[in-house]
Structure 1
Amino acid sequence: MSKPRIAIVPGDPSGIGPELIARLLNEEGVLEAADIVLVGDSHLWRQGADQAELPVTLNTIDERQIATQSGLSHLEMETIAPEDVKISEVTVAGGTTSLRCLDKALDLAQAGLVDGVLFAPFNKAAMTSAGLNAEDEHKYMARYLGFEGHHSEINVLDALMTTRVTSHIGIKDVAANISQEGVAKAVNLAHDTLRRAGQERPRIAVAALNPHAGDNGKFGREEIDILEPAIKKFQDKQMNVTGPWPSDTVFLKAMRGEVDAVVTMYHDQGQIAIKLMGFERGVTVAGGLPIPVATPAHGTAFDIAGQNKANVGATQQAFELLVRMAKNHRADRNA
């Protein structure tokens, strides 16, 4: 199979995104793994190269050449003036360039010119000021693509994925928003994403909501009334789904490599565990979207922006996972 083609956007220029991409492009094996199209203003890529003190060669092409281009190429954009890049500051200009470059990369993916999109960290406050008008970039991308199916952020650490039944809501509202349908959507999202990444029979563990998995109803009935019936439906389909496991031990199973994904009930139930296990290797996948999209799980790191201190580990993990997903996406599209 030919190499997949990946579009890369620089993220918020006030943060470490441009530096991270410069570092990624200089990592061993990256340019051999995929054909890469850098989407964004040329001065942002030069900024990243200067910050990282590493070379980045810009082979600028136009959109008509992308389908036949191999290696590293650059699609020029004019989204922000150099003097409007303010390192370590939240700006409307930074949010505007983030959205415009992302839009172009999504356009290329929808047109079949690229097989996946990698974006360096965005700043949500900057994007909101520039017109994001969505809960987060994942909801924004779904709306932009006209996708109405189930989608959600997936967090990945090495070979482990996590999805969640509820996400950006208050803790007081979590129990009321746990349903069999919600559990099923989260499990299916993990299962389908792992399959796209090459895992033929994913092993999925479902975390409990209550302490001690409810202790037979003593601490709540969500496990008995919702989680157990939902899990049984998957088991009846011969899918490798187990639980509900107490949330204070389920990630021990994950650390031992006994499962490929953990489905949690709320945001921090999984986020705290996975970030403690490997913050600098974490990846976020836009799960469920019709095209593969990934990014490092950390933020724009304004505290070290422009200081040649950015750690490329999570960005490289995101790239490697995206390459695997993009290969399967291309195969499915051409089937």
Structure 2
Amino acid sequence: MDKRLRVAMAVGDVGGISPELAAKIVADPSANADDLMIFADRRILEEGAEIADVEITIPTISIDQLDGPLPEGTFLIDLANCDPANVKRGEASYEGGLASVQNFRAVLLAVNAGYADVAFFTPFNKSAMRLAQADYVDEIGFIDATIHPKESGREFNVLDEVWNARVTSHIPLSAVASRITEDRVFDSLCLTDKTMKAAGFEAPRIGVAALNPHAGDGRNFGTEDDDIIHPAIERAQAANILVTGPVPSDTVFVRATRGEFDAVMTMYHDQGQIAMKLMGFDRGVTLIANYPFPIVTPAHGTAYDIAGKGIADLGATRNAVNLGRKLALMDLGGSRDACGEALSVLVARALDRTRIWEAA
């Protein structure tokens, strides 16, 4: 029988579909292979269950009960940090952003201290989070500032058996070319190979997307593909990584879907995201890797346009939990915080509004 894991779940932006997705995954029989430790306001989860038309009956513990024994199975830690009456559905808000920041920090601290095996969150809205924390940029920066890892992480998108890695991520398009260096491309290839092997790929085949049209067309449309990306690929090949490229970005995903590549490494965020979401918007997963534990979420967003309608698709959420479980069972390795702090102390830190951003 497979090991039973504990997945720590942060309920994401309350103005979008996150509450109903959280309720649906709690009620979903496929999630019963694991125990869910949910960090949220009880009222938000109850509202999500009403929207989703599902019934959830799980133990709830308050903050002042955290020093006692934790319940068995799935349970909710009621952070009492977001009154639904103060949040307008379908909009970014300070209240929703603050709850997202607090829920996420609580999950990261709890998993890093060994209280759970996987960190999982339903979709956040960065605009809302910046209303609560002006210097919030993205999840990776927040994770680094919260658990202080030895190395920073990197985002991957996973759709069925096709992975997407990136050399750059949340930066302006105008800054991409200057951030593409031989070392950065090479390091990204090494991390992609390492992460995919940890996920069970014996020898992942990676196709590298070119930066410029037609891979530079013999230097007619830019020199980066010949002068920067190609040398990095040769270094990776010398390190026994199965990598091909640079491949024109308008065909590289076609070749991947036909089975030629297990992963496509793109140079910037939307170069891969557009293709992956077009191929399977309701199935894709975002994995934040290179940390001591898996961090996963659906690849889609908060979907303000359908919030409160009860029609949010659970597919990507279910796939995220399943991928987190798979990676945790394979043990990505790495050292976690050995401070031995009580869960009550960690949750108090997560809720402390004077320490919204913990500078590394």
TM superposition score normalised by structure 1: 0.92
Do the aligned partners of 2:16 and 2:304 also contact (CA within 8 Å) in 1?
yes
Letter in 1 for 2:16: G
Do the aligned partners of 2:17 and 2:302 also contact (CA within 8 Å) in 1?
yes
Shift of 1:189: 2.7
Shift of 1:289: 2.6
Alpha-carbon separation, structure 2, partners of 1:140 and 1:312: 26
Alignment-derived partner of residue 314 in structure 2: 312
Alignment-derived partner of residue 198 in structure 2: 196
Do the aligned partners of 1:286 and 1:292 also contact (CA within 8 Å) in 2?
yes
Alignment-derived partner of residue 180 in structure 1: 182
Letter in 2 for 1:223: D
Runs of 4+ aligned structure 1 residues displaced above 6 Å come to: 330-334
Do the aligned partners of 2:144 and 2:152 also contact (CA within 8 Å) in 1?
no
Structure 2 residue corresponding to 1:282, chosen from 270, 281, 284: 284
Shift of 1:198: 2.2
Residue 97 in structure 1 maps to residue 99 in structure 2: yes
CA offsets 1:36-66 (integer angstroms, 9 cap, x no match)? 1111121111111111110111212454567
Alpha-carbon separation, structure 1, partners of 2:76 and 2:27: 16
Percent identity between the aligned chains?
Answer: 42
CA 330–168 in structure 1, closer or farther in 2 if over 3 Å, else same? closer
Letter in 2 for 1:20: L
Do the aligned partners of 1:208 and 1:245 also contact (CA within 8 Å) in 2?
yes
Shift of 1:25: 2.5
Letter in 1 for 2:294: P
Alpha-carbon separation, structure 1, partners of 2:4 and 2:334: 14
Relative to structure 2, which stretch is displaced further, 89-98 or 152-161? 152-161
Residue 294 in structure 1 maps to residue 296 in structure 2: yes
SS in structure 1 of the partner of residue 304 of structure 2:
coil
SS in structure 1 of the partner of residue 282 of structure 2:
helix
CA 273–91 in structure 1, closer or farther in 2 if over 3 Å, else same? same
Alignment-derived partner of residue 341 in structure 2: none
The aligned runs of 1:205-216 (5 Å cut-off) are 205-216=207-218
Alignment-derived partner of residue 42 in structure 1: 42
* Structure 2 unpaired stretches of 5+: 337-360
Alignment-derived partner of residue 255 in structure 2: 253
Residue 56 in structure 1 maps to residue 56 in structure 2: yes
Shift of 1:114: 0.5
The aligned runs of 1:214-229 (5 Å cut-off) are 214-229=216-231
Alpha-carbon separation, structure 1, partners of 2:194 and 2:139: 21
Shift of 1:287: 2.5
SS in structure 2 of the partner of residue 114 of structure 1:
coil
Shift of 1:331: 7.1
Shift of 1:81: 2.4
CA offsets 1:198-234 (integer angstroms, 9 cap, x no match)? 2232211111112222233333222221112111111
Letter in 2 for 1:274: M
Alpha-carbon separation, structure 1, partners of 2:231 and 2:152: 21
Alpha-carbon separation, structure 2, partners of 1:132 and 1:65: 35
Alpha-carbon separation, structure 2, partners of 1:151 and 1:23: 29
Alignment-derived partner of residue 11 in structure 1: 12
SS in structure 1 of the partner of residue 250 of structure 2:
coil
Alignment-derived partner of residue 117 in structure 2: 115
Relative to structure 2, which stretch is displaced further, 77-86 or 301-310? 77-86
CA 173–74 in structure 1, closer or farther in 2 if over 3 Å, else same? closer
Do the aligned partners of 1:153 and 1:284 also contact (CA within 8 Å) in 2?
yes
Alpha-carbon separation, structure 2, partners of 1:294 and 1:132: 24
SS in structure 2 of the partner of residue 251 of structure 1:
helix
Shift of 1:257: 2.3
Alpha-carbon separation, structure 2, partners of 1:133 and 1:175: 24
Do the aligned partners of 2:44 and 2:83 also contact (CA within 8 Å) in 1?
no
CA 168–332 in structure 1, closer or farther in 2 if over 3 Å, else same? closer
Relative to structure 2, which stretch is displaced further, 162-171 or 276-285? 162-171
Shift of 1:153: 2.2
Relative to structure 2, which stretch is displaced further, 113-122 or 171-180? 171-180
SS in structure 2 of the partner of residue 112 of structure 1:
coil
Shift of 1:332: 6.9
User: What root-mean-square deviation, in Å, do the aligned CA atoms of Structure 1 and Structure 2 show?
Assistant: 2.1
Alignment-derived partner of residue 29 in structure 2: 28
Shift of 1:248: 1.1
Q: How many residues are treated as equivalent by the alignment?
A: 332
Letter in 1 for 2:58: L
SS in structure 1 of the partner of residue 259 of structure 2:
coil
